[in-house]
Structure 1
Amino acid sequence: MSQTISVRCKLIVPQELRQEIDRTLQGFADACNQILDTAKREKCWNTAKLHHLVYRPVRAATGLKANHVCQALRRVISNAKAVKQVHKFRPTSLTLDARTFKYRESEQTVGVTLLSGRVWLKLKIGGYQIALLRGQAPTSATLSKTKQGDYYINIAIELDTPPTGKTPKVIGVDLGRRDIATASNGRSWSGEHIQAVRDRFSRVRAKVQSKRTRSSRRLLRRLSGRERRYQTWLNHNISKTLVRDAQAIGAALAFEDLTGIRERLNQKPRSKTERRRTNNWAFYQLRMFVAYKAAIAGVP
């Protein structure tokens, strides 16, 4: 058994290569948007059929390599399956495969194929990433650019997972708004402080949005994603603690089943504030974080 995880590594990009990377990211986004427009117009979401429709015109229009076009096609199809409405793609990331990506452990560098050809970039990583990448031969990655202008590469690796087996011990985890997570071993993460932070994010967003000035729009862009990053950080911390506790005593983890909880709650009369507070915590993300960490640690 194995578990696929993504190792996020910062790239050291020379100034002379930044424009070429940006040009490739823009070309990849243009390819995705052209493929999406064709799929909608032809009402075709079959990968093989859509490939024959878009491959040549997209390559001619964007100048991308063959594998870049194939990856753009896969991204459009996978996004269409994941969400009901696919919006316009932005030049923020580039999907790479075995033909467009190479990792050299001895030099801690990665080879990335751009519009002009392959370039080698150094990784700026610490001991955690080095340990995860040791002995690996990854064949896929995603190059991305942040709002601050930094470049990162998420390298997909396979980790062997120990067999879970059976255990008589179980740590039950109850989920809720008052306490984000309460474990049967006594661990608890109070929702009071978390709720205060989320309410503050909401008030600031509402205040900035009401001004509708150029400076307020810039501020809104800086605030964008801050609450999501806070949720992700906290869910990672909760999941690490739960898995570590279960591994220490050889116990399994059992989560409360929240399937359909939002639909049931939204049928009840509630204020706008209460609806927002109930609906915007990422419980599914927390469960997914626990799932992959538990698989690596051998915790059922």
Structure 2
Amino acid sequence: MKLVVQVKLLPTPEQATALEATLRAVNTAACQVSRHAHEHRTFRNYDLRKHTYTQIKDEYGLAAQAAQHVIKKVADAYTTLHANLRAGNLGKAGSARRIRVESTPIAFRAAAAQPFDDRCLSWQIDARTVSIWSVAGRLKNLAFTASAQQLTTLSAHRRGESDLVYRDGMWFLIATCEVPTPGVKDPEAFLGVDLGIVNLATTSDGARHCGKALNALRHRRRELRRRLQAKRTTSAKRLLKRHRRKEARFAANTNHVIAKQIVTEAERTGSAIAMEDLQGIRDRVRLRKPQRVMLHSWSFHQLGAFLVYKAARAGVAVIYVDPAFTSQQCSSCGQVDRKNRLDQASFSCTSCGFAEHADVNAARNIAARGETGWAVSHAA
């Protein structure tokens, strides 16, 4: 499986200046290639290379391999754009948003990330340095910092390209690693996981991972952004810039911790993980306006993705089930009734009288459906 390892670069002032000039040059060149692609409706890597390679290489002082990567970056960006257009993610045909997107060439920020392959970038893992191409020449002995685990992963599994990233005044290299995964073990049981907003994740064994701290942080950040945006002063904009991405980092860390705990428990008990297939839930669910903010800030997809890749590394099977009526169905007798769900936290079956926390009951239904689905899909 593919994983990425992010290491922080520690450039000298001269090296930082060269890196900044390099990103500015390659992204200016990418904007020029993008304008050509948009104007001539030429989006294939080979065709773009034929018409723009020599020009950007000479005009911006790019090395041969760097120029190739600039062109490939543009071609990949248009491939992604066209996929989003076909999927309707950028509006319906004829809508103002879609017309604006289709009529404007893709633009690249001056500090947008740039890929480097082994011809432009070499790693000295033991010395914790890299040698990287720049418009000012080869930068040797560029130091980086990484944990012992990251160094081990880089040394054993790094493959392909690495991206040079400038973010919040810091330089990073994000390296792609091909990590071998163990075979999936046949499950002895199933651990159902109910994803939610109040409780971010609830498992069928009764463990609840509360989202109170994350939801409180999001509320505070939302109110802070509202007040600062209303001021529209230079200091307010500076504060907004300083606080950006803090909420996303906190949410990602919370999801990592929850996913690790769930996968560890599944591995310990020899269980497979059963989850609801929540794809498209934001389009299906209709909520009152005050609730929409919470729904659209709900990072269930990220938590699910973390569960999947951590489970794969541990050899734990993952199966998706139909989410219909899991919160209304009794996990004891199977009766489905909206009246079973008394409120957000309470479940009481109107047929058999079974009572349980609503999220735990839903997780047990998910586990049962996971067991059934596994038996069907793995029948001899």
TM-score, normalised via structure 2 length: 0.72
Report the AA paired with residue 129 of structure 1: Q
CA contact (8 A) 1:101 1:139 kept: no
2:293 partner amino acid: R
The runs of 5 or more residues in structure 1 that have no matched partner are: none
1:241-270 per-residue CA deviation (whole Å, 9 max, x = no partner) reads: 1222222222211211101110012xx352
Q: What whole-Å deviation, never above 9, does each CA across 1:145-185 have from its counterpart, x for those lacking one?
A: 221x2222112111111111321322111111121111223
Question: Which residue of 2 is the match for residue 202 of structure 1?
Answer: 222
Aligned position for 2:345:
none
Which deviates the most, 231-240 or 82-91?
A: 82-91
How far apart are 1:216 and its partner, in Å? 1.2
Counterparts of 2:183 and 2:202, CA distance in 1: 27
Tell me the residue number matched to 2:293: 276
Q: What does residue 204 of structure 2 align with?
A: 184
* Structure number with higher relative contact order (C-alpha < 8 Å, ≥ 6 residues apart): 1
Of residues 11, 14, 28, the one that matches 1:30 is 28
2:305 corresponds in structure 1 to 288
Q: CA deviation at 1:136?
A: 4.0
- In the other structure, the counterpart of 2:10 is 12
Q: Percent identity?
A: 29
Alignment map for 1:157-176 (pairs within 5 Å): 157-176=177-196
The match for 1:48 is 46
TM-score (norm 1): 0.90
For the 8 Å contact 1:133–1:157, the answer to whether it is kept is yes
Please provide the CA RMSD for this pair: 1.9
Identify the residue that residue 111 of structure 1 maps to in structure 2.
Answer: 131
For the Cα contact (< 8 Å) 1:103–1:138, is it kept in 2? no
Is 2:150 the counterpart of 1:129? yes
Contact 1:102 1:139 in 2 (8 A): no
Map 1:217-228; keep pairs closer than 5 Å. Answer: 217-228=237-248
Residue 65 of structure 1: CA displacement?
A: 1.5
CA 1:135 to 1:195, structure 2 compared with 1: closer, same or farther past 3 Å? closer
User: Higher Cα Rg: structure 1 or 2?
Assistant: 2
Q: Is the 8 A contact 1:7 1:155 kept in 2?
A: yes
1:80 equivalenced with 2:49 (yes/no): no
Q: Report the Cα offset of residue 92 of structure 1.
A: 4.0
Tell me how far apart the structure 2 counterparts of residues 222 and 230 of structure 1 sit (CA, whole Å): 15
Alignment-derived partner of residue 68 in structure 2:
70
Q: Secondary structure in 2 aligned to 1:160?
A: coil
The question of whether the paired residues in 2 share the 8 Å contact of 1:103 and 1:137 is answered with no
Cα distance change on mapping 1:252 and 1:87 into 2, 3 Å: farther
Q: Deviations over 1:15-72 (max 9, x none)?
A: 2211111100111221222222222222222222222222222223321212222222
